[in-house]
């Protein structure tokens, strides 16, 4: 047992820096800015070493001095430490010397990076003695809260728009949460959830638990550093919805540097969005700080946040690191889902297509150099968004159950290959 209690100092407003106690709160009462977890880096520096981390189990808690939990983690013991894959086939295709896929499409238990944030949110919900956890979501977050909440023994309320596709509803319902299908559009679901969160003493993972929940994303960055042999890459390409993941990956690099586990940060951070929902990229390209909200219209539904909460901070990360951003069409997204599958054998969801397509554009434009190490953040699994590929894949060869029919098909196959 190690004492990690005092390593987390307080919640602190990102805007005016007022401090608040560690409670399920998320907005600065004074200036309405978002609250963020502040740590005692001087003490962490003394206790957290590479060797200590390397002896721990391969899950996200191996970095727990830099996570806002108290005591020993008891759940999500298989979440995190997803593979960092050297993508040599894809590297040759794009023309980058050293290319890696950070593959959260195989995250336990629900195949997206949301398992990381939900793991931390539920650990915190337990500490705060909530017995009900909740969220509003159309996809990955709903699945993760439903699944991890089941294992950890919470009552669960999941709010979705009633018009959601059936396959996505099933992927939550199988864990038997209370699934509330709201007769309204997404904005209306959100508004309702804010009201519910005010009235009921529940842990809404991305409302009143958000400062803690968001810290879970840092583990994606910590792992990249460790898996690269305790260094940061030259470039990292991150898909942006709210902008939180990108902000937290940057925080993870800075923290590793502050506590001395890496020798400086050399990374340029690149943002990736779909053109049909690109408020962050628009601000980056125009070099302005104001995020103009948009109405999303893209196949990349898991990234379709028109008014991104951390959009401003994401633009600052890009600026500070000397990176840039790119947006890509639905056609490019689908082409790149297929490209990743046929070069690296990884089936990612639409967000992954956004990341890869943006990376290719950034390489062509010279922002990403050939002679560099580059990490692509792949955050979700393609099995969840199969409908995006309908009509865009190759077709099977239909044959009769006899050898002649098979050999006719074989001729065609070999014919097409020339």
Q: Is 282 in the site for other proteins (CB under 8 A)?
A: no
Who's near 275: CB < 8 A, 6+ residues apart?
298, 327, 328, 329, 330
Of 38 and 409, nearer to other proteins (C-beta) is: 38
Please give the structure tokens belonging to residue 123.
Answer: 């650990």
Q: Is 190 in the site for other proteins (CB under 8 A)?
A: yes
Among 4, 107, 112, 137, binds other proteins (CB under 8 A): 137
Of 30 and 406, nearer to other proteins (C-beta) is: 30
Q: Is 30 in the site for other proteins (CB under 8 A)?
A: yes
Closest CA to 282 of 312, 244, 237: 312
Q: Can you state the angle between helices 140-152 and 114-127, rounded to 10 degrees? A: 40
Shortest separation between residue 11's beta carbon and other proteins, angstroms: 12
Q: Is 135 in the site for other proteins (CB under 8 A)?
A: yes
3-state DSSP call for residue 417?
helix
Shortest separation between residue 213's beta carbon and other proteins, angstroms: 9
Q: Is 16 in the site for other proteins (CB under 8 A)?
A: yes
Site string (204-243) toward other proteins, x via CB under 8 A: --xx--xx--x--------------------------xx-
Query: What part of residues 31-60 is at the interface with other proteins (CB under 8 A)?
Result: 31-35
Among 93, 128, 230, 312, binds other proteins (CB under 8 A): 312
CA separation for the pair 284, 399 (Å, rounded) = 52
Who's near 417: CB < 8 A, 6+ residues apart?
none
Q: Is 271 in the site for other proteins (CB under 8 A)?
A: no
C-alpha distances in Å from residue 211, one per residue of 57, 219, 268, 273: 25, 15, 25, 24
Shortest separation between residue 337's beta carbon and other proteins, angstroms: 19
Shortest separation between residue 251's beta carbon and other proteins, angstroms: 15
Among 136, 274, 354, 356, binds other proteins (CB under 8 A): 136
Q: Is 292 in the site for other proteins (CB under 8 A)?
A: yes
Q: In this structure, are strands 8-13 and 35-39 parallel, antiparallel, or unpaired?
A: antiparallel
Who's near 66: CB < 8 A, 6+ residues apart?
39, 44, 48, 218, 222, 252, 255, 259
């Amino acid at each position: 047992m190690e004492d990690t209690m005092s390593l987390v100092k307080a919640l602190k407003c990102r805007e005016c820096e007022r401090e608040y106690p560690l409670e399920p709160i998320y907005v600065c009462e004074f200036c309405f800015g978002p609250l963020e977890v502040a740590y005692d880096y001087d003490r962490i520096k003394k206790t957290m070493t590479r060797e200590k981390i390397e002896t721990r189990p391969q899950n996200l808690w191996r970095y727990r001095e830099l996570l806002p939990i108290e005591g020993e983690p008891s759940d999500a013991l298989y979440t995190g430490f997803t593979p960092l894959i050297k993508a040599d086939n894809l590297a040759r295709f794009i023309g980058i010397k050293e290319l890696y896929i950070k593959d959260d499409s195989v995250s336990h238990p629900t195949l997206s990076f949301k398992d990381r944030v939900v793991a931390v949110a539920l650990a915190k919900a337990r500490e705060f003695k909530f017995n009900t956890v909740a969220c509003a979501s159309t996809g990955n977050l709903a699945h993760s809260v439903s699944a991890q909440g089941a294992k950890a023994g919470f009552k669960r309320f999941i709010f979705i728009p009633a018009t959601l596709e059936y396959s996505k509803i099933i992927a939550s319902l199988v864990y038997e949460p209370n699934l509330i299908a709201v007769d309204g559009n997404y904005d209306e679901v959100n508004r309702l959830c804010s009201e519910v969160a005010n009235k009921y003493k529940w842990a809404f993972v991305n409302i009143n638990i958000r400062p803690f929940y968001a810290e879970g994303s840092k583990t994606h960055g910590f792992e990249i550093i460790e898996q690269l042999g305790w260094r940061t890459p030259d470039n990292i390409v991150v898909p942006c919805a709210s902008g939180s993941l990108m902000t937290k990956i940057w925080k993870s690099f800075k923290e590793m540097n502050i506590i001395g586990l890496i020798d400086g940060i050399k990374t340029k951070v690149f943002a990736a969005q779909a053109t049909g929902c690109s408020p962050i990229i628009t601000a980056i390209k125009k070099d302005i700080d104001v995020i103009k909200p948009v109405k999303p219209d893209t196949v990349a539904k898991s990234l379709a946040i028109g008014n991104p909460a951390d959009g401003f901070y994401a633009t600052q990360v890009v600026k500070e690191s000397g990176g840039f951003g790119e947006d890509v069409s639905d056609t490019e997204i689908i082409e790149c889902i297929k490209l990743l599958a046929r070069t690296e054998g990884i089936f990612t969801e639409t967000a992954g297509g956004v990341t890869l397509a943006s990376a290719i554009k950034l390489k062509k434009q010279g922002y990403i150099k050939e002679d560099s190490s580059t990490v692509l953040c792949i955050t979700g699994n393609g099995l969840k968004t199969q409908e995006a590929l309908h009509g865009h894949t190759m077709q099977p060869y239909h044959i009769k159950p006899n050898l002649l029919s098979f050999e006719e098909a074989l001729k065609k196959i070999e014919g097409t290959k020339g």
